[in-house]
Structure 1
Amino acid sequence: MASMTECKYQWQRAVLSARRLHFDQAEGLQQALRDGFFFVEPAQAFDLAPGDRFARQFYLSGHGTYRGFCTQTETELGKHQGYFCRDADQTEQFFLRSSDWHRLFPEAVRIQAQRMKTLAIEVLLAVLASLNIPPALWRKATGHCMASQGTHTLTFNHFRPQVNARGLNIHKDSGWVTVLRSLEPGLEVLRDGFWYPIDPRPGSFIVNFGCAMEILTRHTATPVAAVAHRVVQQPHEPGKADRFSYALFLDSSLDKRFCEGLYSYRPQIGLRLEADFEQFLKSILEHTYEPHSAGLY
């Protein structure tokens, strides 16, 4: 599959206000659901400097409020959390679920994380309101992701241009909604067999829909696409700052008391259990970070 330097598609943009998405285009929401992503701005902007600073420093050793997090690994924090550095990608990453934000994040980063989480939940609510799924089923259908039982992870990515590897492997996000902060070129999405670059827009987040949303809606009148995406290898250019990004992932609860797994919705039947979420998540993550596979399903 080739990369396209020019894009024939007009990617959608919306402003989120009072839990409603206001798109620039008349059919913007419908197109965004087909694309699997769109740009969004909150009605009231919030300070992103703490997250930007953390993304530029978390991997550095030594003392400091925003550095030294490379010592926090799965051993200390539990499964799928902490610092990861893999040879197959240029990225080194730090994952932290909301249950530990108050304990480990600097206060300003925690505040920003909470605002990104609220933004993700409000985007999901706005999208669900446009689908033909009864509101009484939303909590069960989405694995309680909009409540405290959900899995809410803030992930930071630092791209190491001196490493001769892909930037970040082809994958689809596992869950419902991802709110991504990305300031430099490098992100690409797969559409109709071609890879298209997504140029950043100042002041906007990128919203990706994940596999859980795609599975839930695939039999409805308005199916939502989970977008396959990647980050291309970053060149080593002396004097150029390293690429970074970070994202809030909105996922189902990992507690089976609240979430049996991933469901599909069929208008004449209701919810149908399709997969165990924890196993699904494990598979997506393993295939994303293996050298010779992709995080797809």
Structure 2
Amino acid sequence: MHIVTRPQLPVLDLSQLSGTATEQALFLQQLRHAARDVGFFYLVGHGISDQRQQQALQLAKQFFALPSAEKKAVQMIHSPHFRGYTGVAGELTLGQPDQREQFDIMREDIVSGLPESTEPWRRLIGPNQWPAAMPGFKDEMLGWQQQLSDLTETLLGAFMQALELPADALQSTIAAGPYQHMKLIRYPGQQASSSKQGVGAHKDPGYLTLVLQGDQSGLEVLTDNGWVGAAPLPGAFVVNIGELLELASNGYLKATLHRVTSPVAGIERYSCAFFMAAQLDATVPLLQLPAHLAAEAKGPASDPRNPLFYQVGQNVLKGRLRSHRDVAASHYADLDVAS
């Protein structure tokens, strides 16, 4: 097992948020500095048991161990909502294929946007695909996804408090439920003919990301000291900030480049990533930070006219179209994908 003994990223204990006033103040101070200086940290004390975490990873392993025909029956290309299975090299980051296979899940819903809709992003809304060979998989994964969503909502409120704002400062953007997107991921060992790009260097687009890792390392974060590893820490989630939250905080909260390097030949890496963002029809406010905090911001100042603030759904759709060109060609041929 590749277990980190001296983490190179901050370790924060969420249980302090419900502790004494001193503990709460310490946690918020640590959160503020980790979010401004690094944009990545380990989260412990979150209340989700190690048993529950391992159960989710085990279900991921069971899914990826299914026969190829079972996985292809739920391939993403069958879903205009970008849900389902993607094989190795089936998703692109910066135009290059990622060496991983994955299963994408979002909020289970009914179809909202017809192809002729004037708001194409509404086509993202709909049901997930589920493997017929795993009848209990749906309920387990939807329950797990909701647990992670609830945790990110708690974190989002804590970030607002760390910025000396009301905990519900962004509540209007998730009032109908935040945008949920979860990936179960398997990284195969490196092959002589393939690249080492498990996932290419990128920033996440939304508010917050939670990553649950198995035993194998591979996640790397770009810091002021170069690339550092975020090796698995038992019981912890890795948390990082997305570009939309960086934008809303006027550059105070930092969205950080990160990547995954494929494991060596003969080794597999499993993980579960959960991405939380504003609901797709939201208008995101530009938060007004206290002057002393605004002066500490390291990121670029935000322009309130930036369409990222009020075209949340359209920007999510653009990202999916760029990453999954086969789905774009099959279900979105009427759109200008490059726009």
2:56 to 31, 38, 51: 51
TM-score by length of 1: 0.76
Q: Report the secondary structure of 2:31's partner residue.
A: helix
Label 1:118 to 1:75 Cα distance change in 2 as closer, same or farther (>3 A): same
Structure 2 residues without counterparts, runs of 5 or longer: 1-5, 90-96, 110-126, 131-136, 291-302, 326-339
The equivalent of 1:15 in structure 2 is 14
The equivalent of 1:81 in structure 2 is 83
Label 1:283 to 1:78 Cα distance change in 2 as closer, same or farther (>3 A): closer
Structure 1 residues without counterparts, runs of 5 or longer: 1-6, 291-297
Q: Report the secondary structure of 2:233's partner residue.
A: coil
Structure with the higher fraction of residues in strand conformation: 1
The equivalent of 1:4 in structure 2 is none
Label 1:32 to 1:148 Cα distance change in 2 as closer, same or farther (>3 A): same
Residue type at the aligned position of 1:234: P
The equivalent of 2:180 in structure 1 is 152
Distance 2:43 2:29 in 1: 15
Residue type at the aligned position of 1:176: Y
User: Percent identity between the aligned chains?
Assistant: 22
Is structure 2 residue 269 aligned with structure 1 residue 243? yes
Asked if the contact 2:217–2:230 (Cα under 8 Å) also holds between the matched residues in 1, the reply is: yes
Displacement of 1:125: 1.2
The equivalent of 1:190 in structure 2 is 222
1:213-255 CA distances to partner (integer Å, 9 max, x unpaired)?
1000026xxx100121000132113xx4x1011112111212x
The equivalent of 2:43 in structure 1 is 40
Residue type at the aligned position of 1:265: L
Distance 1:212 1:19 in 2: 27
Label 1:31 to 1:68 Cα distance change in 2 as closer, same or farther (>3 A): farther
- The aligned runs of 1:112-261 (5 Å cut-off) are 112-134=144-166, 137-140=169-172, 143-144=173-174, 147-163=175-191, 164-165=194-195, 166-183=197-214, 184-192=216-224, 194-218=226-250, 223-237=252-266, 240=267, 242-254=268-280, 256=281, 259-260=282-283
Asked if the contact 1:14–1:24 (Cα under 8 Å) also holds between the matched residues in 2, the reply is: no
Asked if the contact 1:171–1:288 (Cα under 8 Å) also holds between the matched residues in 2, the reply is: no
The equivalent of 1:99 in structure 2 is 108
Please provide the CA RMSD for this pair.
Answer: 3.5
Which has the higher Rg, Structure 1 or Structure 2?
2
Residue type at the aligned position of 1:107: D
Distance 1:194 1:263 in 2: 32
Displacement of 1:90: 1.2
1:179-219 CA distances to partner (integer Å, 9 max, x unpaired)?
11013211100112611111211011111111111000026
TM-score by length of 2: 0.67
Label 1:22 to 1:199 Cα distance change in 2 as closer, same or farther (>3 A): farther
Size of the alignment, in residue pairs? 267
